[in-house]
Amino acid sequence: MKSNVLKFFLSLELLLLTCPSIAAPLSKEPIRPLMMLKVDTQKAALGKLLFEDKRLSKDNTVACLNCHSYHTGGVDNLPVSTGVRGQQGAINAPTVFNAANNFVQFWDGRARNLEDQVGHVISNPKEFDSSFSLIIQKLSKDSAMVSEFKKLYPEGLSEPSIRSALAEFERGLITPSRFDRYLQGEANAINDQEKNGYQLFKSYGCIACHQGQNVGGNMFQVFGAMNNYFADRKTPKTDADNGRYNVTHKESDRHLFKVPSLRNVALTAPYFHDASAATLEQAINTMFKYQLGRTAPQQDKEDIAAFLKSLTGQHVLMNAQRP
């Protein structure tokens, strides 16, 4: 375990040292270059161990990595994920990549931050169905794990330190892309079609909800702002379709969702909270009809898709071993 911790520590240190320019945006565009967040690399390395540890689930069958693969944009590419005892979740799993830049966590925003998000996953009966007391009981038998916690946290292995380590690891999952280099002044980092797609993305109005560092993730929006998406959808409504309403119980929040980040969107199909779009092209069509209330030539949509693909990035864990 020590060698794994050291390897991650060195890898993350290298990323932070070799990407200083990411912290100095050169553009006044509505999309801003990703900034590397300040991360305690030793705590992040410990968090990586926890992220991959199935002991966090009640029956030792599911780890965070099962639903948030390093190799597929931080998701599992399934309509819904599988938790303990083979149970199916109720909503499409959002990406863990760049999640630290979201203003809230989960589609309905029920978690204020990454530390808060950890507890929701652990206690959810269809996800980990566990508790911090049970996890601590299990990990206390692992002398190497206990030793790592004692080195990094005054209180050692505890609920706050587990939350902290996992959140610190996720803060390191930042994925700079070619488009970020373009924003920083590298004109040839993206091609002409991608540049045109970006201009169309702005002119059609997509940028109204998808902007900032995460190209989204910083506001709530009604799904079906211009046309009634849920009336047109052929599948029955579910509780998950209520979105933010499930948290606030305000009628004005029904069908309100956190706008997802579009970073790595080319890797994270299927799309939307209900996984109703199997491809990026289908997702773009849905957005034009229900969020923009507009039509567009096919070539414009293809150019926008090309731009979105330029948002695919990498991080130090891309070569991590698959679960």
Known catalytic membership, residue 127: yes
CA–CA distance from 263 to each of 39, 138, 241, 266 (Å)?
20, 36, 23, 8
Summary count for the chain: helices (H), strands (E): 13, 2
Closest by CA to 126, choosing from 58, 49, 55, 53, is 58
Looking at the DSSP bridge assignments, the partners of residue 271 are 277
Q: Is-cis flag, bond preceding 79, omega within 30? A: no
Which residues does 177 contact at the CB level (< 8 Å), separation at least 6? 34, 263, 310, 311, 312, 313
Q: Which of 52, 115, 127, 168 is catalytic?
A: 127
How far is it between the farthest Cα atoms of the chain?
Answer: 61
* Tokens of residue 321, six digits: 């071993």
Looking at the DSSP bridge assignments, the partners of residue 87 are none
Rg (C-alpha) for the chain, rounded Å, is: 20
What phi, psi does 96 have (nearest 5°)?
-90, -15
Which stretches of the chain are DSSP H helices? 2-18, 41-51, 64-67, 114-123, 132-139, 143-152, 159-171, 178-183, 192-203, 229-232, 245-248, 280-286, 298-309
- Judge contact between 313 and 189, C-beta under 8 A: no
Interatomic CA distance for residues 21 and 11, integer angstroms: 18
List, by residue number, the catalytic residues: 127
